[in-house]
Amino acid sequence: MKADDLRKKYIDFFVSNNHKEISGKSLLPENDPTVLFTTAGMHPLVPYILGEVHPAGKRLTNVQKCIRTGDIDDVGDATHLTFFEMLGNWSLGDYFKKEAINMSFNFLKDVIGIDINKLSVTVFEGDNDAPCDNDSIGYWKELGLPDSRIYKLPKGDNWWGPAGQTGPCGPDTEMFIDTGKEVCSPECIPGCGCGKYFEIWNNVFMQYDKQEDGSFKPLAMPCVDTGMGVERTITMLQGKKSVYQTELFIPLIEKIEELSGAKYGESEDTDMSIRIICDHIRTSTFIIGDEKGVQPSNVGQGYILRRLLRRAIRHGKKLGLEEKFISKPADIVIDMYKDQYPELNEKREFIFSVLEAEEDKFGLTLKKGEQEFSKLLPNLKKNPKLIIPGRVAFTLFDTYGFPLELTEELAKEEGMTVDRDGFDKAFEKHKELSKQGADKIFKGGMADDSVMSTKYHTATHLLHKALKIVLGDHVNQKGSNITSERLRFDFSHPDKMTKEEIQEVEALVNKAIEDKLPITMQTMTVEEAKDLGAMALFSSKYGEQVKVYKMGDFSLEVCGGPHIENTGDLGVFKIKKEQSSSAGVRRIKAVLL
C-alpha cells in the first residue's frame, strides 16, 4: 500500500463512520508560543478540546503536515524524520474509549489487512494521579486480544500531556505490530527500541485537566485524539526496513545519486549523508512553501530552516557536490506532493529563489569561517599538544555557522586535532540553555485559556485590520504568539513602519475598543466567507465549514477562537516594538493596559 492509498483509505473509513473531513493546518502554529512548528494533528485543535465548538461538529478526521526538530542532529538514521504526515480522528465530547478502540481495530483488520494475531497493545497502568485504564483493557479483550498481548505501562509510556504546565491530558492506548524479529531480551515488550514491535497507532483519551497545584480533575468534556504516521505505517505495510525504501524517498535518493555520482548502499557514511539531504530538503521545501511559510534567519523558525538547509548543503559537499544543488531535489518534492498540498506548486519559483539564496549565503559563511580560523591559528599553535579547544570549535560553529567537520579538516591540514569532547560539552550546555528558554516560553499559548490570553487573541483581529487600513491590502498575518502578558504578531510588509504609521495603527485599534463593538460569530462555508470579504488564508477544503468573527463593522475574519464578547473590555492597546522578523515580514509586540 502506498502513501496516497493509505491517506484515502483512512479518511474514507472515518467519513463512513460519521466523521467530517477537515483541512490540515499550517506548519506554523497560530497563537501558540509553546512550539515553533505544528508537531501533531491535535495541535491546531487544542481550542476545541478545551471547549470551543468546532464548525464541522464533534467527529473530525484529517491529514496534518507536521514537523518535529528536537533532535535535528540525530536525523539521518533509517527511521527518524523531521517532516511527516499524521492521520488523525477526533471525538470532541462525542464517543469515547470503546468506540475509538473498536474503530481502530476494524480499520487495522478490515481496511489495511493487518494480521490481528500480530497486534499487541499498551495501556496506562495507573498511579497516584489516575487509576489503571481498566476500561481500555476490557474493550481490547472484547475484541479478542489475550492478556498476553495487553501490556500495562507507566505514565512515561502511556500518558499524553498536558501541552504546557496545566491543561487537558489523559491515558492512551498504543497499538504495535510484531515484526517477527527475535526478542532482544526476556524483558522485550512493545515500546522496546530493538525493532521487534512496530508502533502503528496511538489513541489518547483526554479525560483530565491538570491544575496549577499538580492535581488532576476530570475534564468536563472528555475527548479522543488519535495519530497514525503516514511514513512509518506504509514502511511497515510494504515490508520495508526503512522509510527511505518507500516511494516517498526513492525518487529523491535517485536524484542525489545522479547529481553526486554516489551510490546509496555503498557505505553507511554515504547513506547517512544521502538520507540527511533527502529529509532536510523535503522539510525545508514544506516550511518555505507553507501558506504562512518563513525564510531562513537567525531566530525561531527561520533559524531551524537555516540549520536544516546548511546541514543538507554540508552533506552534499561530503558527497562531492560543490555546485548549488538543493533546488533540484526540492523540485521533486513539489511534484510528489503538489496534488495533496497545492500551495507548494503555487510557490515553486519562490521556494527555488529562497533555496538558491541560502546556498549563496552559506558559501560566504564558510569563507568567513575559514578567515576566522586563520586569525585564531597563530595562538592555537602555541599549544604544544596542537589541540584546538572544543569551546573554540564551538564558537566557530555557533557564531559563524562553521561546521565542526570543516574545522577538523582545517586543523588536520595544520597537523592539529580538535577536542571533540570539549565541543560536545559546549554544545550540550548550549542545548540546555536553549531548553530552559523554551521552558519559559511554555507558560503561555493555546493551552493557556485565561481571560487575558483571550483578550490578546481578540486584539490581534483589530491589529490585523488596522495594519491593512494603514499599510495596504498586501498585509497578511504570517504568525501570532500569544501569552497572558502580551501579543506578538507577524505580518507581510516589505518596509520598517514609520513612527506615524505605528501611531495611526494604535489609534485605529483604540478607536475600535472605545466604540465597544459587539463580537459575534457565524458558521459558514469557505466560499461564503470569501464572498463576505472575510480575512483569512483560505487553505480549507471546498465546502468546509469555518467560523467567521465579526467585530462591529471594523473586522471580519475567519478564526477558531477564543474571543471576548465586546471590544470595550480590552483596555488600552499599546505597540511596544516594531521590528523585522524575516525577509518581507515585520513583527509587532504589543500590550493591553
Do the annotations mark residue 315 as ligand-binding?
A: no
Do the annotations mark residue 464 as ligand-binding?
A: no
Nearest to 116 by CA among 103, 127, 132, 105: 105
State the Cα–Cα distance between residues 124 and 86, nearest whole angstrom.
23
Contact 312, 280 (CB under 8 A): yes
β-sheet bridge partners, residue 210:
167, 216
Instruction: Quickly tell me which residue has 530552559 as its cell.
Output: 436
Do the annotations mark residue 563 as ligand-binding?
A: yes
State the Cα–Cα distance between residues 285 and 334, nearest whole angstrom.
8
Do the annotations mark residue 559 as ligand-binding?
A: yes
β-sheet bridge partners, residue 547:
523
Label the pairing between strands 197-210 and 167-178: antiparallel
State the Cα–Cα distance between residues 230 and 80, nearest whole angstrom.
13
CB-based burial label for 295 (10 Å; 0-12, 13-18, 19+): buried
Q: Which residue type is seen at 548?
A: V
Label the pairing between strands 59-67 and 20-21: parallel
Helices marked H in 17-158 — which ranges?
Answer: 46-49, 97-106, 134-142, 155-158
State the Cα–Cα distance between residues 209 and 216, nearest whole angstrom.
6
CB-based burial label for 422 (10 Å; 0-12, 13-18, 19+): middle
Point out the annotated binding site for Zn(2+).
457, 461, 559, 563
Q: Which residues are annotated as a binding site?
A: 457, 461, 559, 563
